[in-house]
Chain A
Amino acid sequence: MIDGRPDELHQQFEEVWGNPRGWRAATIVNHTRIGLLFLLTGLGFFIFGGLLAMLIRAQLALPDQTFMDADTYNQVFTMHGTVMMFLFAVPMMEGLAVYLIPKMLGARDLVFPRLSALGYWCYLFGGLILAASLFLELAPDAGWFMYTPLSSLPYSPGVNSDFWLLGITFVEISAVTAAVELVVAILRARAPGMTLQRMPLYAWYILTMAMMIVLGFPPLILGSILLELERAAGMAFFDVARGGDPILWQHLFWLFGHPEVYIIFLPAAGLVSTVLPVFARRPIVGYRWVVVAVLTTGFISFALWVHHMFTVGIPHLAQAFFSAASMLVAIPTGVQVFSWLATLWLGRPVYHVPMLWLFGFLVIFVAGGLTGVMLALVPFNWQVHDTQFVVAHLHYVLVGGMFFPLVAAVYYWLPHFSGRMPSARLGRWGFWLVFGGFNLTFLVMHWTGLLGMPRRAYTYAPGLGWDVPNLVSSIGSFIMAIGIATVLVDVLLHFRFGVRAAPNPWHADTLEWATRLPPAAYNFISLPTVDSRYPLWDQPELAKKMARGEQGLATVAHGRRETWGTDAVTGEVREIIHLPGNTWLPFAVALVLSVVCIGLLVKAYAVASFATVVAAILVLRWSWENGAHEESGIGVPVSAGDPPLHWRTHDGPGRWGMGVTLLADGALYAALLFGWFYLWTVAPQWQVPAQSPLDARGLLANALLLSAATLWLRRVLAALRRGSDKGLCGQLAAVAALGLLQSAHLLWLMYTSDLAPKGTAHDAVIAVVLGYALFHCVLAGIAIALQAWRVHYGYVDRAAPYEPIVLGQLWYYNLGVMWSAYVALVLFPSTWGGV
């Protein structure tokens, strides 16, 4: 690479893609930087959560300890679980994917770089707000699962629960945004020739994980919103006396909570499937089997949530179903384990530190899986549920299934982060200390549970047989902590003393090893065309050709950030994705959102409302800087023979991004309707008013009005697709006006109705459904109004028809929301004999 041309190209690319320094670093949207920030922040929260674990083990080491009182202990264990799940495991796995996926797919960046940055800042600010609560001694103390009514206002009057509900919801923005763009990047921005069947397995895992986040997180977001509305505004959802049901919270929580386990495990298994074949020196055995297993796990994981609720007193038939479904997960997991085994068996394994961690993963994770199958058996579950046995099981699954592969991955990709190779000796010490300490802690903890010690008890009396195993667990946990410190020191030292890495030092097959080490912000001078599942093994010259600029999109003289947009299935090139450059907007939006969050926390609603308006304006400004408005390189046409820029087509990544976002949105709405029907049928004291508080005819008229506006928009979009933009500005403006009129009517309907959301859960749910519809209709109206304005400015026309087509989906979605609300709120009650 000493050749003159690549260096010259490198300079040019650096001018367009390079990262600014100093305080302007907060404007960086590049996935490599954002991914690293995710990883570093995740590490910080991991250390924080780990220290909390040490406090827990110190408290439980001896019976009747007074090291912490009950209140402090409750805050500490709640925060340990919350931090490890929401601020470490998920962001870490997403951060690694954000870092790796574009490189593995042979792309220059993710498709929505500003969204990656927004996600990161929301994660950082939300995490800091949450962590701050502990230092204010106001940390959440109702458990990471926040069961109502313990977390409800009467039993948690302090601000502690609000910290959890608002902070976590804020952090979840980052989980969902990262998921949306990972899905779209994997489907629409792969290297030319990378068909779905040639995609690296890691991308399959991440695709599945991201789809699970898209569908799995919204129920919890909804639950958090409802609980916060109950706590702050006095509405009724989980309060039995007003027709709510605390068990609804558990359903919403575990509808998220069980997929969450696989959201953490699947990407880690993806790391195993990536790293293991490289050290086995052969492709993974049964690629198709593994893909099918991963997808199956994703599906099944949504049918398991009730196994966290076997002792709640739900019908036995349902328990049997969820018991069998929970056990079924053993099959796809078994398929993966045995294809890893077979890969090793058939390969020529070489031995490096990452392999040691993979071995630790196998032992611990399989053990955790086996106790998981035991726990899925209902009678056994009735005994050990909520004991230390479950604590042991979940740590086997999560530490074994996530932390061990993560450390293997960190060692494996260290040359990527530093350009240097890891050492062997300290790494081994670290591994054996962690492995030994972990098993000492948690193997013994199964026994503590079998001896009947419940979870979440801040202390215990002597003489119950729990003294010895608890002491052993505590000693083990400190050995484990020393091991983790050793690993951290090892990684830290390697940045200074590690041997310089050669290109592709592990002789890996995936494209991320074709970058410089460490990589430049643009990843590749030229983008590869791939004809194999293992490009760097089967196309030995590829990396050099890419570095010499002999592959696709090797020019940057136009000043645009570009990557290929390819077909979701075939991987054929369809357009050039024109990526936005660095900007303050994501940072600013996240900052303002954290003002909203803090405003709601301290009940300064005026501040929160004002900040919400500011955030909305910033987001709209963000949407303004798109397509033909992008400052850089608009005037320069694409090279001859290259496909058009994406905003000159009908189907760019934004359309897919909108679709996936609406899936998440739809999951939230579906969870809301689930809550409505659930309360109707199950709530112990469900109350239906004698007279419907809703104006049924008014609601019908409103839905018809929205239908008319949407149909009109559809005609406009159809014409635009045919290449006609006659009267576009006026028509869009008229559709927007009609939409906003409908929104105003809906608001009036709500205002004049007799809804008493503080009185009954019945009215509270109706109010939320209508509020949800109103929010979406207003948003869609404003967005189309802005499009009319953009037509006026010349940013949108038949040559740039992209944006109104993207927005069309939101309108169709809203139509679905409106009509399903009508069916659920008006037609369903009337057929059920209610009103």
Chain B
Amino acid sequence: MPLPSARPAAALSVQSMLPALVVPWLAACDGPQSILDPAGPAARGVTLLWWPMLIVATVVLVGVTAAWIVAMLRRPRDFSPEEAKRISRRWVVSGGILLPAASIVLLLGFGVPVGDRMLPRRGEAPLRIDVTARQWQWDVAYPGDGVVLVDELHLPAGRAVHIHVTSADVIHSFWVPRLGPKIDAVPGRTNVLRLQADEAGSLRGQCSEFCGTGHAHMVLKVHVHTEAGFSAWLTERAAAAHVGGKDPAGATPGGALPAPAAPGAARNPPRLVSGVAFLP
């Protein structure tokens, strides 16, 4: 499915600052599911981790390889036992201990805050969307509005969304790569994933935990609306659902109010309270 690019300006400017080393890659970094083409803050955080990690890793790999080649090719020298001991200790301590230790500290120092920013936040009033995965489709519900979709997710741009993910059968994994991290859909549990999209457009998601013969085709179409566009869309859909008209996008039997097999995701008939709900 051809999708319009929704790459935000911010990402472009970040990428333009990157060293020449990675420029040839950039042309090939676009794609409907590319992690390197972020369309939301969470995915952008990961991209910002990736490029420096790639550069450091490349430097280390080239350095170690070069040291090996030089050691193999250079003219052998004689070392006194003291010299040998000193040199070997220097190599092992600096390369074997200090280098990885420093890398780990740096990595955690920069990486952990990025991870923390992805988590659901206290005091936020996000939009809640319930996603129930089953072999092999995504049931997407907007609790409070009675809207149920299949394999289609609609979101407002610029606003945090909490996706409450569970499964009706086997384990699946909910993932919209350009928005951010994935979370497993586990039967008996509900996991909450916080996502936010930068601007209106279309995105693609795909199940990323092996779930049987339909795994490769368990695709989710994601439509990001403007805030106003989303309200309009939801109102229209909710009205259609209340009238009892069959949801054109959702093939769920019974239309508006499904009888979810999903444990843990209680869905009551419309209580239009700003679209926020909490776990039972």
Contacts and interface: CB of A to CB of B under 8 A. Distances in A.
Contacts of A371: 57
Given A311-B173, A366-B64, A457-B216, A349 B191 contact: no
B227 interface: no
Nearest to B42: A379
A455 interface: yes
Given A313-B191, A316-B119, A463 B1 contact: yes
A455 B173 CA distance: 12
A316 B118 CA distance: 12
Interface string B167-180: 00111010101101
A324 B64 contact: no
Given A286-B92, A383-B182, A460 B31 contact: no
B104 A324 contact: yes
B67 interface: yes
A155 interface: yes
Nearest to A279: B72
Given A331-B97, A380-B49, A155 B169 contact: yes
A70 B49 contact: no
Given A155-B169, A324-B104, A386-B182, A349 B72 contact: yes
Interface in A438-462: 447, 450-461
A84 interface: no
Interface in B147-190: 169-171, 173, 175, 177-178, 180-184, 186-189
Nearest to A290: B92
Contacts of A349: 71-72, 76
B23 interface: no
Q: How large is the interface on B (under 10, 10 to 19, 20 to 34, 35 or more residues)?
A: 35 or more
A147 B87 contact: no
Given A70-B214, A363-B61, A366-B64, A289 B92 contact: yes
Interface in A307-330: 311-313, 316, 320, 323-324, 327-328, 330
B45 to A, nearest CB: 6
Interface in B1-40: 1-2, 25, 28-36
A453 B33 contact: yes
B188 A457 contact: no
B242 interface: no
A463 B19 CA distance: 29
Contacts of A466: 31
A463 B108 CA distance: 36
A751 interface: no
B141 interface: no
Nearest to A283: B84
Interface stretch (B205-213, B231-239, B250-258, B271-279): B205-213
A454 B206 contact: yes
A487 B214 CA distance: 39
Given A328-B104, A379-B114, A335 B50 contact: no
A337 B95 contact: yes
A150 B94 CA distance: 47
Nearest to B104: A327
A832 interface: no
Interface string A370-393: 110110011110111111000000
B170 A149 contact: yes
Contacts of B204: 464
A311 B97 contact: no
B43 interface: yes
Contact of B46 (A339, A380, A386, A456): A380
Contacts of B107: 327, 373, 377
B147 to A, nearest CB: 25
Given A311-B181, A339-B92, A70 B210 contact: no
A452 B43 contact: no
Main secondary structure of the interface of A (DSSP, over half): helix
Interface residues of A, number: 86
Given A312-B186, A386-B208, A684 B96 contact: no
Given A331-B100, A458-B216, A377 B189 contact: no
Contacts of B263: 240, 684-685
A382 B118 contact: yes
B53 A341 contact: no
A338 B96 contact: yes
A154 to B, nearest CB: 8
Interface centre among A341, A343, A379, A464 (most CB of B within 10 A): A379
B115 A379 contact: yes
Interface in A262-299: 285-286, 289, 293
B217 to A, nearest CB: 8
A383 B43 contact: yes
A253 B213 CA distance: 22
Contacts of B212: 74, 142, 150, 155
B173 A338 contact: no
B76 A348 contact: yes
B76 A337 contact: no
Contact of B34 (A312, A335, A338, A451): A451
B72 A341 contact: no
Query: Which 10 pairs from chain A and chain B are nearest by CB?
Result: A452-B33, A382-B181, A465-B31, A240-B188, A335-B96, A313-B191, A338-B95, A457-B216, A379-B115, A285-B88
Interface of A: 70-71, 74, 142-143, 147, 149-150, 154-155, 240, 245-247, 285-286, 289, 293, 311-313, 316, 320, 323-324, 327-328, 330-331, 333-339, 341-349, 351, 355, 359, 362-363, 366-367, 370-371, 373-374, 377-380, 382-387, 447, 450-461, 463-466, 683-685
17 contacts: A70-B215, A143-B210, A285-B91, A311-B181, A311-B183, A328-B104, A335-B97, A337-B95, A339-B91, A339-B92, A341-B64, A367-B61, A370-B60, A374-B57, A447-B25, A456-B210, A684-B264
Interface of B: 1-2, 25, 28-36, 43, 45-46, 49-50, 53, 57, 60-61, 64-65, 67-69, 71-72, 76, 79, 84, 87-89, 91-92, 94-97, 99-101, 103-104, 107-108, 111-112, 114-115, 118-119, 135, 169-171, 173, 175, 177-178, 180-184, 186-189, 191, 204, 206-216, 263-264
Given A383-B46, A461-B1, 4 more contacts: A313-B184, A347-B76, A359-B68, A466-B31
